[in-house]
Structure formats: structure tokens, C-alpha cells
A = this chain, B = another copy of it.
Amino acid sequence: MSSSFGHAFRLHTFGESHGGAVGVIIDGCPPRIPLTEKEIQHELDRRRPGQSDIVTPRKESDTCRILSGVQDGQTLGTPIAITVENEDQRPGAYEEMAVKYRPSHADYTYDAKYGIRALSGGGRASARETIGRVAAAAVAKQVLAALAPGIEILSWVKSIHDLEADVDPATVTSEMIESNIVRTGDPVAAEKMIERIKEVRADGNSIGGVVECVVRGVPPGLGEPVFDKLEAELAKAMMSLPATKGFEIGSGFAGTRMTGREHNDPFRMVDGKVRTTSNRSGGIQGGISNGEPIVFRVGFKPTATIMTEQDTVTNDGQDTQLKGRGRHDACVLPRAVPMVDAMAALVICDHLLRQRGQCGL
């Protein structure tokens, strides 16, 4: 079930980067939720290649089509299938990679696992795989808007290489994030980051960074002990995204250097609600949301495909060299932002329905 995610709000994705199409089936979606291709296309356009001059210039319209589960702009409660046809396939660009394993790519491991792999493009290991997730998340956001209005999911670039952005999770807005092509909430850092990405790309190199995400307005009570703790589900969701190397919530690794006296979040009654006066817990305690903003960070490695000669081996066991070709992102962070948004929406929506099933809302 490697391509399925979620228990109550469940998605099943498919598609190689250079096959006929990529897509997703969403099963378990509540009925009578407003949904058209417009909401889905909006999210797909945020992850699309060619959207700005710091991402891959690949030209793909990524136009979605709803095949089932929706009638006259409303969900039927039955499986929603969404497909995006593949375009701009240039197998030519990949001939060399069919015999040489790209360093730090999935070429070798797919061969080791399956004894076969998609020879053109990255197959399932391509970032193109995330189209299904993003499309499903657009549906999840419609469900959240209908069943738990007020939930707000925002992700932004927190750092690129050694450049840190100064963004306040409590006040950052979608407008601030989308106001710059690098998708950070700090306009000053944005300029530096864009410059850095262009420098690195010109050098045939690549860089990584960190995406931060806040989910505001989550009601207390979401998340399930013991294995499906909300932070565990978020960790899996984020670490299933291509190129991720780390996940931390609330105080994260820095919290391991604090004492309990410094780290604990005191409770206080505010407007008749149980609140905490600090949020080192990151909005989750014992695996269950406590009503405070859920805040976490996801680390992305530098893009593996670089325009530089590197040592590698052939699929018949010969040492050789390989230099990247084709059109790739020198930095995935700007396009990773909508992917992090998407996975967060999927986890929250799934747990909202699970909570309604077991405990009622």
C-alpha cells in the first residue's frame, strides 16, 4: 500500500514522471462538499514548473481533470479521481541516465528493489509524483473549510543554504508568502535567497533549505495515541516528500538543550479557554492537538541533479562519471512550500474525520 495515505480521508496516487498521466483517487471524502477543478488547479499551479525564473523552466500546464465523484460542483461521497496528463516528455535527455545511476537519486535503489525502473525521467521518484498529493489536498482544504472553518495552513521558506528568514508563525499571511517567488514571509531575505539560487544555478550547483509550517485554528482533540500521534503522522507525511532530511515540531532539536523548567508550557485560562502561555509543544501534547498553533519545520537537501561531472557506476557494475542534463530546480524550496501545505492539509483532514468517527465532533 505504498502509494496510499490516510485512514478516513484516504488517497491513492499513481504515475511516473514520463508515463501517460499522473493522478490520485480520494476515497472517504464527505458528500456535498463544494468542489470544482478550479480549486484543484489553483494548488497545482503553485507547484508547477516554469512558474518563475528560479525554478525549472520545464513547460507543463499540469491541467487537472476530475473523472468521478463530483456532480454539479458537489462531492458525491464516492471516490474522486483526478488526473493530469504528462506533456513535454523528452526521453532523449535521459538516455545516458538509463545506464548510469545518478548519485543520491533513486535510480540504483529502484533497480535493487524491483529489478526494473522507469528509464525515462525519475519515475515515481520524480517530484512530479507530488501532483496527486497536491490535488488531493485541494479537496481536503474544501472539506476543512466546510467542517472546521477557521483552520489556516501556511508554509514558507524558513532558510535556504545559510540564509535565514525572519518570519513570525503567529502573524505571517498567505499574501506575505506569495508576494515573492521564493515563498518566504521575509521580503529582505527573499531578495538574498533569489540571488543565491541564481548564483548556485549559474555554477551548475544546487542548494537546500528548510520550510516552516503553521496550522492555526485546529480544534483541540485531533491526533490518536499511540502510533498515530499527530506529530508522528505529520513527520511521516513530510518525510515522504522527495528530498526531505529532517522534521522537527515546536521547540524541535533546540528543545533537547533546554531544561524542563524552561521548556514546559504553562496553562492559563484565557477567555474561558484552556491556553498555554508559550508553545514549545508546537500545538501538540501527547500526540493530540491542544488548540495552539501547530508549528513544525522540514529540512530539504540540495537537489541531487547538478550540472557537474560526478563519480558514479553503470547498471552493469562499471565505475564511470555522469554530468546532469535536462532542466531541473537548482533549489526545490519554492516549489516545496505548496507540497508541505498539502501534506499538512491531508493529515489534519484525515484526523478530523477520524475524530468525528470515534468521538463525534
CA distance A240 to B237 in the complex (A): 13
Q: Of A20-28, A167-175, A177-185, which binds chain B?
A: A20-28
Q: Which of A5, A112, A222 has the most CB of B within 10 A?
A: A112
A53–B159 CA distance with the chains assembled, in angstroms: 42
Establish whether residues B239 and A245, one from each chain, have CB atoms under 8 Å apart when the complex forms.
no
Which residues of the partner chain B approach A150 to less than 8 Å between Cβ atoms?
none
Interface 1/0s, chain A 294-328, versus B by CB < 8 A?
Answer: 00000111111110101111000111000000000
The reply on A359 being an interface residue by CB < 8 A is yes
| Contact stretch, chosen from A41-49, A54-62, A67-75, A186-194 | A67-75
With A23-B81, A65-B20, A261-B205 as contacts: A32 and B114 at CB distance below 8 Å: yes
Q: Is A264 an interface residue (CB 8 A)?
A: yes
Please give, as numbers and ranges, the residues of chain B lying within 8 Å of A28 by CB-CB distance.
Answer: 1-2, 357-358
Residue A19 interfacial (CB < 8 Å): yes
**In the bound complex, CA of A140 to CA of B235 (Å):** 23
Given contacts A7-B1, A81-B23, A110-B286, contact A311 B67 (CB under 8 A): no
Known contacts A260-B206, A286-B106, A355-B113; A79/B228 CB under 8 A: no
With A236-B227, A251-B301, A252-B299: A116-B27 Cβ-Cβ less than 8 Å: no
Bound: A246/B238 CA distance, A? 12
Interface bits A226-246 vs B (CB < 8 Å: 1, else 0)? 111101111111111010111
**Residue picked from A27, A312, A357, most chain B C-beta under 10 Å:** A357
Q: Are B14 and A81 in contact (CB under 8 A)?
A: yes
Also in contact, A274 and B108, with CB within 8 A (given A227-B3, A306-B264): yes
B14 touches A80 (CB 8 A): yes
A71 to chain B, nearest CB (A): 6
Given contacts A208-B258, A250-B245, contact A2 B263 (CB under 8 A): no
How many residues of chain A have a CB within 8 Å of chain B?
155
A145 in the interface (beta carbon within 8 A): no
State whether A68 touches B14 (Cβ < 8 A).
yes
Q: Is the CB of A240 within 8 A of B227?
A: yes
Cα distance A109–B311 in the bound complex, in angstroms: 52
Do B301 and A225 touch across chains, with their CB atoms under 8 A apart? no
Instruction: State A66–B227 Cα separation when bound (angstroms).
Output: 22
A272 to B12, CA, bound (A): 38
Chain A residues 99 to 131 lying within 8 A of chain B, measured CB to CB, are 101, 103-106, 108-110, 112-119, 123-125, 129
Q: Which residue of B lies closest to A222 (CB)?
A: B113
Q: Does B19 contact A3, Cβ atoms closer than 8 Å?
A: no
Question: B8 to A358, Cβ gap below 8 A?
Answer: yes
- The answer to whether B303 touches A260 (Cβ under 8 A) is yes
Chain B nearest Cβ from A190, distance in angstroms: 17
With a 10 A CB-CB cut-off, give which of A223, A229, A277, A303 has the most chain B CB atoms. Answer: A229
Q: Which residues of B contact A249 (CB under 8 A)?
A: 239, 245-246
Q: Given contacts A14-B78, A109-B285, A274-B317, could you give 15 more A-B pairs where the C-beta distance is less than 8 Å?
A: A2-B227, A3-B227, A4-B12, A20-B66, A21-B81, A31-B358, A101-B267, A106-B285, A113-B220, A125-B287, A235-B238, A245-B253, A245-B256, A246-B249, A353-B357
Listed by A's residue number, 18 A-B pairs whose Cβ atoms lie within 8 Å are A4-B10, A13-B79, A14-B69, A14-B78, A14-B80, A15-B68, A21-B68, A23-B67, A28-B357, A77-B116, A104-B264, A104-B265, A112-B274, A208-B256, A229-B239, A235-B235, A264-B304, A267-B311
